[in-house]
Chains A and B, each alone.
Chain A
Amino acid sequence: KAGVTQTPRYLIKTRGQQVTLSCSPISGHRSVSWYQQTPGQGLQFLFEYFSETQRNKGNFPGRFSGRQFSNSRSEMNVSTLELGDSALYLCASSLEGSEAFFGQGTRLTVV
């Protein structure tokens, strides 16, 4: 059974640009959640999607957005990148109410 796949693994962007990250969940998992990990703030919840609907949202500015497609694949977008957006972005998928399976993450560097 394939795990959670995140692409790309590494990304370098310039301030002001936008970026789109992709997450393919485990087959059959309809919940996809996104997290940001930085050395200063640790792991923080960004948002969760379930059946193409955003179900929960963390305390991040509107520059951070996401969506989920009918096949449960999810994308997150960050517009007008800032240096502070440099982080490891992790997604996780799960069956309703069960344990989360995490991807390897996308390491974003903003220069």
Chain B
Amino acid sequence: GDSVTQMEGPVTLSEEAFLTINCTYTATGYPSLFWYVQYPGEGLQLLLKATKADDKGSNKGFEATYRKETTSFHLEKGSVQVSDSAVYFCALAATGGGNKLTFGTGTQLKVEL
């Protein structure tokens, strides 16, 4: 079945450091890929998405490129801020899956001054 694997956390970085959170997936067909963010005490929010191979999703300085050849969708940001501290979830919606989202286990990011 469909699955998403993302790097375990917590990831601790200093402010202005470069961020990479790895995400790989297994799915049939051509899924859509997403990154969701969950701030403390809040619900999941869509951060960015990509719907086909080589698409790049971007938002708030975060980027991720849909790489079908490596089945990956790694999240990157050039300079993190303390306010980026949250849990990040990689997810996919399979073709013909009725918009059902399959999530990874989440990666906690802590950004320190």
Judge: A and B partners, yes or no.
no
Interface residues of B (CB under 8 A from A): none
Interface residues of A (CB under 8 A from B): none
